[in-house]
Amino acid sequence: MAYSILVCDDSTVARKQVIRCLSSALEVNVLQAKDGVEALNILKQQSIDLLCLDLTMPILDGVGVLERIKTEPSIETFVVVISADIQPEMKSRVTQLGALDFIEKPVDSERLIALLHRYGIR
């Protein structure tokens, strides 16, 4: 079974790195968004199993996306935050907003896949 995954990051390089990690270990259908507004539009239009979300982006940042997901009953997705912003306060905040977990950039593929396996994505 292929998982639908949305990778949201304003950096093309970062998106490609995450996609490479996911594609090498899982059967996935991957969509991409370059900012939070684009991600929310995709999430409203189709069912996405997992959102890999950066925090620092133009237009609408990752925290804004998490806040909107909480208030939008039509959006049901698991979220893993992938960001260089590793402050303990930010980790706590995104977890309170519903993120499953937090992975630091640059993405370590073994850690990402282990985290997904922990949550039943194989």
Measured distance CA(49)–CA(56) in Å, rounded: 22
Strand order in the sheet with 3-8: 28-33, 3-8, 50-53, 78-83, 101-104
pTM value is 0.93
Neighbours of 93 (CB within 10 A): 15
Nearest to 31 by CA among 14, 50, 10: 50
Judged against a pLDDT cut of 80, whether residue 86 lies above it is answered with no
| Reported confidence tier of residue 30, pLDDT bands at 50, 70, 90 | very high
Measured distance CA(11)–CA(15) in Å, rounded: 6
pLDDT, position 18: 93
